[in-house]
Every structure is written in structure tokens, then in C-alpha cells.
Amino acid sequence: MTTRTRELKWIEGHVTAARGFLATGIHCGIKKKKPDLALIMSEVPASAAGMFTTNKVKAAPVRYCEKVIESGAARAIVVNAGNANACTGAQGLRDAEEMAAITARELNVTPAEVLVASTGVIGMTLPMDKLRAGIPAAARALWESGEGAELAIMTTDAFPKTAAARVDIDGVTITIGGMCKGAGMIHPNMATMLCFLTTDAHVPPDALRQALGRAVAVSFNSITVDGDTSTNDTVILLANGRAGGQSLESGPAYEAFIDALTCVSQELAKKVVRDGEGASKLVEITVEGAKNDEEAKRGALSIAHSPLVKTMMYGAEPNWGRILMALGKAGIDMDEEKTEVYFGPIQMFKDGLPMRFDWDAAVALMKQPDVQVRARIGVGGGSWTVWTCDFNEEYVRINGSYVT
Amino acid sequence: MTTRTRELKWIEGHVTAARGFLATGIHCGIKKKKPDLALIMSEVPASAAGMFTTNKVKAAPVRYCEKVIESGAARAIVVNAGNANACTGAQGLRDAEEMAAITARELNVTPAEVLVASTGVIGMTLPMDKLRAGIPAAARALWESGEGAELAIMTTDAFPKTAAARVDIDGVTITIGGMCKGAGMIHPNMATMLCFLTTDAHVPPDALRQALGRAVAVSFNSITVDGDTSTNDTVILLANGRAGGQSLESGPAYEAFIDALTCVSQELAKKVVRDGEGASKLVEITVEGAKNDEEAKRGALSIAHSPLVKTMMYGAEPNWGRILMALGKAGIDMDEEKTEVYFGPIQMFKDGLPMRFDWDAAVALMKQPDVQVRARIGVGGGSWTVWTCDFNEEYVRINGSYVT
């Protein structure tokens, strides 16, 4: 999972950074005052790939998109915040379809070219009157202002999350941009991670799907705030080919595209972790020497999910035993006698025995906004990195009294 | 997992309630002031069964016991608190063996008849000088006073945990008693759940092992405070046959014994949950209508492990969507359109749609010290019940600043 970033150039911008994409965000009245409706559009037909929540309880827009995206093509995405359209039965699916139909009519595309995403409260049907008026207004704004899409998808987010980068592939400059929302599955009634990525690279649908799968595995699927999964989680990638150049489907050029897509995805994913409710730091956890990458990931996630590890990160005390405990319960092959644990550069455990280390230096290291933990478990060549945040009183305060 | 309790009579007492068992607890100096060394002994040879942590990182006494208990027989258990003898390499195993050898000498049994358990700080070798003096002192106390064993195994426990009951099986009165310690894996440096059960029933080793497996599955393996597993978790059951009567190995009499053992185990397990760090309530979670019991258990544990569910229980707000979210992410078969969610008697979700319910009544119900959650997921006949506690600021406070 090494990512080659040497050719990557970060730029300002987000989902409209690549050529031929428009986006906007407006207020249509689902929320009281804040922007709550976004549109994203490609000026020309685009390849489309999507990945959706693995939660068995899937929101209506997720069920809708899973079907529509099978064609591998899309032109537009309509997104509302404030209402998740989840646990809303058959009416929910009809509402998602109507959102697509209105968007198609206003943007002069076919309904099958429109994807839909929702985020917000679970268990209430959408206020369709507001969307029936709002989507045409958003379509007008798309041509006129084309701003604020990244704000109109936010729910409990403390800040908008965007990233964009350029990379030269065989003399052609490719741009990849994106925006996302989410602060962990911290408010199940106002939850969800949504990410929209666009690129002007020329990538056919099958290759696009594979590229997205690989990028998401080491970015959005390698972060955790609290181990909970929303009913609405969605990542969509559109590629409209406006950059010109060869079709990217295999070989070094295709790998370079995946590398760049991975970098942008990781940048966005880390922003979600930093915005974890009450989070005061980003914790990077790497497990090496596992039987394979899959087991390394399970070990790293076991550490990242442990409330004991997360509260330790908050308290900034190097109780390395919690790392061993979390590895041990992951159900993966490990050789305790060959296991090593590091916090940053400081080694704390070696050959099955604790080491003397500078406690104060380790505490100082853990008080930084970025903390690295690395464990080598001595059985093979598998490795994986995940990102999480600390866990503190703020999370409990917010989630213990959500409605009142 | 229905438990027949009609013939069970709760009595005062614990690990010495059954005929022919002695126990004591003393202070030997591993801890500064509190009791830290316990002995349990059967006056006659006994069948023995044990279950140990599934954590791959196993403490030395666990490795020792796993080997010794294969014989199916034991006479004595020596337990220290204050030091877990975990992550201590080859020296740790030698120290566990020496604890058994000293105990055997003092109690006039063979070392192979002595089981060893430890709980406390990880990563420090045992202060063997204190144990070399302490174990003989404990052996003297065993004959003289025989008190306080339940106190000498405590670490972060807020209260000692004991239970004992009698049951008539074919005219013979059987007693089962036990003591345990643990408040969830809340202090990985001072952690562990230990449970010691004794009975005067006559049960051969294989049948005893099977009985303990069944009782632990629906008691200690169905509770969770924070999803973390200690390196030292141990449950040991000794059966010395002093009650007389037939050998219990199959049929209704054996099932009656397992029922009683299950009741005592569940009583002790629930005390561990009530003592979960900062816990203000005991939450019972039942999943019904699963494909099988295994999937029901996975669904129930997914709910019980969710920080969102646990903080909701603390905040006493009936955000039923969190139950659906946790079920959905459990990776089990469920039919959302047939799913029902209840908090106590109040139904909140039916046929894939939210129901109107009395919010204030639900809040009042959630403020009780015991809360029941029940979900029916509409695919089969599997069911399981687990117990957990709420999750609040106190947990973060304690675990965020353990050492300082």
C-alpha cells in the first residue's frame, strides 16, 4: 500500500477543480438556515463508479444509486443534507427517484444519468415540496454562481472538507478533485460519510471502478472514528475525459492515476478523522509483519477501535500494553516474542519484553496533534495503515444528549 | 438459552459455600495496603475445568493453567492481585510455576494440582520475595480464619462480587458458589476478569468442562463493557463431589446442574457489568428472529459494543436509529421490512418504518438502573441475550489519565 506521490501537485479547489465540472450549493429549506442542497454536473458524459455502505440497513438513495450506477455512466449528482431518507420504506425510494427525475429535467440529462445522496435525520420522509422548488433553483445557481457545494453537504461537520491535485501522466495534466462530509458515525440521526470525486482523466467504467476500489480501501475504508457505519455512506467518482490523452485502463499510466486518486482520497479521509467529534489529534496506526495485508488491517483496526487506546491518546500516556492487548484480541497470527511496539521513534516493547524508554519524551510526543503508532508482529510481510482520532469527554457529551 | 431457575435457591456465601472448600485472602505486599493474595482449596481431590482468554497475548499464569488443567483435576488455586505477570517472557512462566510449587508444599498437595491466576499491572515481573513469604502466611490463614478471598482478588473493582445458590437434584442438595473480579477491560495495566466457581456436585472432568463451556457462553462470554479482552481472563470451576449422589454427566440431572451453574455464572457476570467503570446502568440486549443463535449473538454484541448506543443509554434518549445502525453493521442476515425494535415494552420500529411512541415514557424507562432493549429481525429462530453498561465521561476520565 505504498503510495508514490512524487509527481503530485496539490492545488486549491475541490469537486470543480477538474475541467468540465460544475457544482453549487443552496439553501432549500430542509435545514432552518444553512445550505442543504448541492448539485454536481459534468458538462459532457462521464464514466461513473461508486462505493456504498456495507450496513445492511441501507438508505433509499443508496439503494437507488447501487442500481443506476451499474451502467458505469453518469452526468450529475444531487445531494441533500438535513434528512437521510433512511428507514423510509417504499416512499423513500419513490422520493429518491423523483429527486433524480427533477434534476434530470432541469439539467437536460436523462434520469438514469443522475445519482442521488442524502444525509441527516433517519426515519423521516423527505420534505419533497422543498426539493421540488429547490432543485430548479439549484440548477439556476449552477450556471450563475457555482459555489458552496462543499458547504451544502455538511451536517455535524465543524469545517468543509475539500482537496484537489494535479499529476502529469505521459505529458497530459490530469486533475482530481473532491469534497466530502462526515465526522465519524457520531450522530446516527445526523450521520454519514459522503464523498464526491471528479477527474478529467479518460478512464473507462470498469477501470474506474477498480481504481476507486483500490483508493477507497486504503483511505475511507482505513479510517475509523468510533467503528460505527452509517446507513448512507457513499463515495462517487466521475471521470469525464476532458483532459484528453490516452484511455487509462492498465499499465504504469493507469497505476499513476490510481496513485494520485489514492492521495486525494487519503487527504479527504484524514480530514474526516480530524473532524471526529471532540477529536484533538490524528492517530496513524501501522501494523507490519503480519501474515498478509488483510490481517495487518484487522490488527490495525483492532487498535484503532479500542476505547482504551483512544482514551490513552487523549490522556497522552504511553501505556503500550493497550496496543498489545488490542493486537492480541484481533484474532490474527502474531508472535509475541518477535513483537515490537513503537510510539513515533520510541520503542517500548521488543522480543516479548518491555523496554526502558524515556517516559517524558513519549508523553511529549503523544501531546502533538499527529501521533504515529507502529507495531511489528513478526510472522510475515503484510502491512497496513489506518487513521483514527482520540476519544474524550466531548464525544460522550454530544452523543449522550443529542436530541435535547 | 432459556434458563430454568424454578428450583434454585440463592444463599449467602461464595467460593466456600459448597461443602469441602476453604478460601482466604491476605496482604502480602504486592499492593501497598490492600489484600493481594488469595488461596482456594478443596479438602478432597476435585474435578477441574477452566476457560481462558482468547487474546493471543496470554499472561504467564494463563499459559501455565492451560497446560495443568488438561488433567481435569485440581485441589487448589493461588491468586495474586496487583501484578498480572503478563508480557514477562520466560521468567514469568518460571514465576507462575514457583507460585504453584510453594502452594503445593504448604497445602501438602502436588504442584500439578495447583492452578495459578494473576491480575494487575502488565509488563513487570512478579515480586517473588513477597510471594515466597506470602503464600505460607496465606496457607496458615486458610486454616485459621478463611476469610476475605473475594477482597484479595480485586483491582479496580468498586465492590466484591460473590454469588452462591443451592439446588435439589434427585433428592441431593447441590451447592454452587463463586467469586469474581473485573470491571471490564478498563485498565489494561490493571485489568482482567477472574472467576472462581466451586461446587460439591459429583461431576467427572469431561462433563464438567462441557458444563462450564455452556454456562460461560451465556454469562461471561455474553457481557461486554468496552469490547476489550484482557491477557489474563480466567474462569475456573472445581467440583469435589462432597454433596454425594450420582455422578452428573448426562440426562435431566446433568441439565439441572448446568442450569444452576448458568444462573450463578450470570449473576456474577452481571455484577462485572454493573461495576463497569463509571457505569450507571445495566443494559440487557436481546436479538430474536436471527438466522441462528450465533448470528443473534453477533447482532446483540454489535449493539452492545456501539459507543453510540452506550452513550445514548447514558443520556437516556430513545434514539432507536442507533439500534438499527448497529444491527445493520453486524454482518448478519436481517429483513429490515420485518424488523421490530423495543425499549422495554415500548415499540419504536415495525415493518421497516418508525412508529409513533410516547417519548417521555421512553426517557423515563431509560433512566432506570436496568434497561431492556429487544430487536426482532425477521429471518429465523435464533436468539441471544447480552449485557452491557452505559458509557460516560467517567470512563474517559479514568482511562485517559491512568498512570498520573
Digit-coded pLDDT (tens) for B360-382: 999 999 999 999 999 999 999 99
Digit-coded pLDDT (tens) for A89-99: 899 999 999 99
Active-site residue, from A156, A162, A192, A339: A192
Highest-pLDDT range among B39-43, B225-229, B386-390: B39-43
What local confidence, expressed as pLDDT, does residue A188 receive? 40
In chain A, residues with a C-beta closer than 8 Å to the C-beta of B349 are: 87
**Interface check B399 vs A, CB under 8 A:** yes
The answer for B 366-385 residues in CB contact with A (under 8 A) is: none
Q: What cell numbers appear for B162 in the block?
A: 460473590
Mean pLDDT of B303-319: 87
Is residue A402 pLDDT above 50, yes or no? no
From A267, A254, A243, select the one nearest A178 (Cα to Cα). A267
Q: What cell numbers appear for B194 in the block?
A: 477472574
How far is B99 from B93, CA to CA, in rounded Å?
A: 10
In chain B, residues with a C-beta closer than 8 Å to the C-beta of A83 are: none
Is residue B1 pLDDT above 70, yes or no? no
Digit-coded pLDDT (tens) for A261-293: 999 999 999 998 888 767 888 999 999 999 999
Residue A278, Ramachandran bin (φ over 0: left; ψ between -120 and 50: alpha; else beta):
left
Query: B89 — phi, psi (to 5°)?
Result: 60, -150
Give chain B's length: 404
The H-or-E segment that residue B348 falls in is strand B346-350
ipTM of model: 0.71
Nearest-CA distance B150 → chain A (Å): 26
**Interface check B334 vs A, CB under 8 A:** yes
In chain B, residues with a C-beta closer than 8 Å to the C-beta of A305 are: 227
Catalytic residues of B: 192
> What rounded mean pLDDT belongs to chain A?
90
In chain B, residues with a C-beta closer than 8 Å to the C-beta of A320 are: 123
If pLDDT is split at 50, 70 and 90, which confidence band does A315 have? confident
What local confidence, expressed as pLDDT, does residue A321 receive? 85
Which candidate from A124, A308, A336 shows the least CB-CB separation from B188?
A308
Give chain A's length: 404
How far is B97 from A402, CA to CA, in rounded Å?
A: 53
Nearest-CA distance A245 → chain B (Å): 42
Digit-coded pLDDT (tens) for B256-287: 999 999 999 999 999 988 887 678 889 999 99
Percent of all residues in chain A with a pLDDT value above 70, rounded to a whole number: 93
The H-or-E segment that residue A214 falls in is helix A205-217
Mean pLDDT of B150-173: 93
What local confidence, expressed as pLDDT, does residue A61 receive? 96
The answer to which of A80-94, A359-373, A387-401 has the lowest mean pLDDT is: A387-401
Q: What cell numbers appear for B396 in the block?
A: 474517559
What local confidence, expressed as pLDDT, does residue A305 receive? 85
Residue A222: count other Cβ atoms within 10 Å of its Cβ. Answer: 23
Query: Is the model more confident about B66 or about B184?
Result: B66
**Interface check B321 vs A, CB under 8 A:** yes
What local confidence, expressed as pLDDT, does residue A3 receive? 44
**Interface check A301 vs B, CB under 8 A:** no
Which of A317, A349, A366, A396 is most worth mutating to test chain B (most B CB atoms within 10 A of its CB)? A396
If pLDDT is split at 50, 70 and 90, which confidence band does B192 have? confident
What local confidence, expressed as pLDDT, does residue A53 receive? 87
What local confidence, expressed as pLDDT, does residue A395 receive? 66
A24 is catalytic: no
What local confidence, expressed as pLDDT, does residue A399 receive? 61
Model's pTM, two decimal places? 0.81
Beta bridge partners of A374: A286, A342
Query: B131 — phi, psi (to 5°)?
Result: -75, -35
Percent of all residues in chain B with a pLDDT value above 90, rounded to a whole number: 71
The residue type of A276 is G
In chain A, residues with a C-beta closer than 8 Å to the C-beta of B87 are: 321, 324, 336, 349, 352-354
Which candidate from A230, A325, A396 shows the least CB-CB separation from B391?
A396
Digit-coded pLDDT (tens) for A136-149: 999 999 988 778 99
Nearest-CA distance A392 → chain B (Å): 6
**Interface check B322 vs A, CB under 8 A:** yes
Which of A54, A88, A190, A324 is most worth mutating to test chain B (most B CB atoms within 10 A of its CB)? A324
Query: Is the model more confident about A252 or about A322?
Result: A252
Mean pLDDT of B126-154: 94
Is residue A401 pLDDT above 60, yes or no? no
Mean pLDDT of B168-184: 91
Is residue A218 pLDDT above 70, yes or no? yes
If pLDDT is split at 50, 70 and 90, which confidence band does B400 have? low
What local confidence, expressed as pLDDT, does residue B189 receive? 43
Digit-coded pLDDT (tens) for A234-251: 999 999 999 999 999 999
What local confidence, expressed as pLDDT, does residue B200 receive? 98
Q: What's the CA angle centered on B117, arms B114 and B120, to 5 degrees?
A: 155
What local confidence, expressed as pLDDT, does residue B6 receive? 52
What local confidence, expressed as pLDDT, does residue A325 receive? 86
What local confidence, expressed as pLDDT, does residue B160 receive? 95
What local confidence, expressed as pLDDT, does residue B305 receive? 85
What local confidence, expressed as pLDDT, does residue A1 receive? 38
In chain B, residues with a C-beta closer than 8 Å to the C-beta of A393 are: 393, 396-397
Mean pLDDT of A14-30: 96
B19, HSE (Cβ side, Cα atoms, 13 Å) = 12
In chain A, residues with a C-beta closer than 8 Å to the C-beta of B326 are: 228
Sort B350 into a burial class: Cβ within 10 Å, 0-12 / 13-18 / 19+. Answer: middle
The H-or-E segment that residue A304 falls in is helix A293-305
From A200, A195, A216, A196, select the one nearest A258 (Cα to Cα). A216
If pLDDT is split at 50, 70 and 90, which confidence band does A367 have? very high
Is residue B31 pLDDT above 50, yes or no? yes
Which of B52, B56, B332 is most worth mutating to test chain A (most A CB atoms within 10 A of its CB)? B56
The answer for B 46-65 residues in CB contact with A (under 8 A) is: 54-58
Is residue A214 pLDDT above 50, yes or no? yes
How far is B107 from B114, CA to CA, in rounded Å?
A: 10
Digit-coded pLDDT (tens) for B84-112: 999 899 999 999 999 999 999 999 999 99
How far is B95 from B101, CA to CA, in rounded Å?
A: 10
